[in-house]
A and B are shown apart, each in its own frame.
Chain A
């Protein structure tokens, strides 16, 4: 198994251990996942697919819950900015 996977978070490369979750990549990159309806920055809360705070666009698919999505090499992640 490769020692790490690299993915793009808002165009910025982020390196993680294999089998990491996409939510970890966002937290490691230090970028909020989304803006709330009044504009607050939000990051993952529950870590288990319940709260939807960690949803972002992954490989062009919107509203993916990143705490239940495994990182893959070359994955492209875009957050709400």
Chain B
């Protein structure tokens, strides 16, 4: 059993800021992440493009944050996936290597959840074809070494991520054929106008747009179907619409995501109260559970700057330090989050994209037709196995929320599939002190 004053789950910007702040004030800190390296999604390292233009400033910030983390004394445990909270102040994590997996028990006095967000995927005919990726998903895969040089890529869905993804794909030599945003032009103009007090964010957006070159950025449009080649099975085109007309865009890949969904599973397992889809926190980032804090996207989709300030607040609060001056900055970031939510609100037409045969739950191949007559999430699980595969509803849950208004509930351990042999030698049952058990 390993113990730390503070355990931080998630080594993205929020987790890095939290771990650094707590460790600098003398606390012992363990920073856990399921990826092989720190950085999370937005600061994901990996294989660099020949010319790192669009994110040069971001690299500098990331490198500085990673240096600060390294010198803070916090210990990074990469490749650790938290799957249970079997006793108060105790987490179980799966440590995976290329040959082995073992469960380890970790104890904390204070816990900071910085579990980030994932993309929202909406089903449409053809979305399960090889060649269709998440938008951030394709970006991550490319940073992981997937070559896209010379490939024709359509980028579609919703959210500020689309432009960033398109700019990065171009750096890696992809031919971005279009960027298609479902939000209306008027929503986006209002959003841009509301950023007058945030010139850095406007400049970043303009930078990404400029990096797109001649690729058209179409707003108020969305994908309706992806088509594969009959013989090869590979993606050959994507059909888009503006609600009146449709057109087919020939491409080798589609990078498609509809903004972000917070990762709140661990918070829910710990009993933290949610507010809507997000983890409820006070001004110190404290959740409804004593000694459990939450920072970054799980508390509201607000982006990098919010994650950094919230992480720092949470880290300082766990170390018994004052957080006053940071709170005003956080409040400003939360106003930005509210504007983001309005600007990229999903249009109702997106609920009508699936045909009866379209798969909604990819793990269990449950179709829209199977689900349409179900009373809700639990009924769908019981009758169709929707949400009962290895992703445990992380992909289809948010989709059914958009399609049917269902609210996925019943978070249970293990939060991720865990090999039985790893559980057999799980040491938490034996090592948890009696007074805590």
A residues in contact (CB < 8 Å) with B: 16-17, 19-21, 23-25, 27-28, 32, 36-38, 40-53, 55, 58-59, 61, 63-64, 67-72, 75
Contacts and interface: CB of A to CB of B under 8 A. Distances in A.
Given A50-B391, A63-B390, A42 B146 contact: no
- Top 3 nearest A-B pairs (CB, nearest first) are A20-B145, A47-B140, A21-B144
Contacts of A27: 141, 146
A41 B145 contact: no
A16 B47 CA distance: 10
Interface in B289-303: none
Interface stretch (B61-69, B211-219, B307-315, B358-366): B358-366
B36 interface: yes
A48 B46 contact: no
A72 B98 CA distance: 9
Interface-centre pick from B100, B118, B130 (highest chain A CB count, 10 A): B130
A52 B137 CA distance: 12
A68 B97 CA distance: 10
A32 B130 CA distance: 7
Contacts of B130: 32, 41-43
Given A24-B144, A70-B36, A37 B133 contact: no
Interface in B377-397: 389-391, 394-395
Do most interface residues of chain B lie in helix, strand or loop, or is the interface mixed? loop
B365 A36 contact: yes
A23 B144 contact: yes
B417 interface: yes
B362 A42 contact: yes
Contacts of B101: 61
B365 A44 contact: no
A64 to B, nearest CB: 8
Interface of B: 34-36, 41, 46-47, 79, 81, 96, 98-101, 118-119, 121, 128, 130-134, 136-141, 144-147, 233, 359, 362-365, 389-391, 394-395, 417, 419
B98 A51 contact: no
A81 B365 CA distance: 17
B390 A47 contact: no
Nearest to A48: B140
Contact of A47 (B98, B134, B394): B134
Contacts of B47: 17, 19-20
A50 B260 CA distance: 13
Contacts of A55: 390
A16 to B, nearest CB: 5
Given A44-B137, A46-B140, A58-B98, 15 more contacts: A17-B145, A19-B46, A37-B365, A38-B365, A46-B136, A47-B137, A48-B41, A48-B136, A50-B395, A52-B390, A52-B417, A53-B362, A59-B98, A67-B140, A70-B36
A74 to B, nearest CB: 10
B198 to A, nearest CB: 27
B181 to A, nearest CB: 20
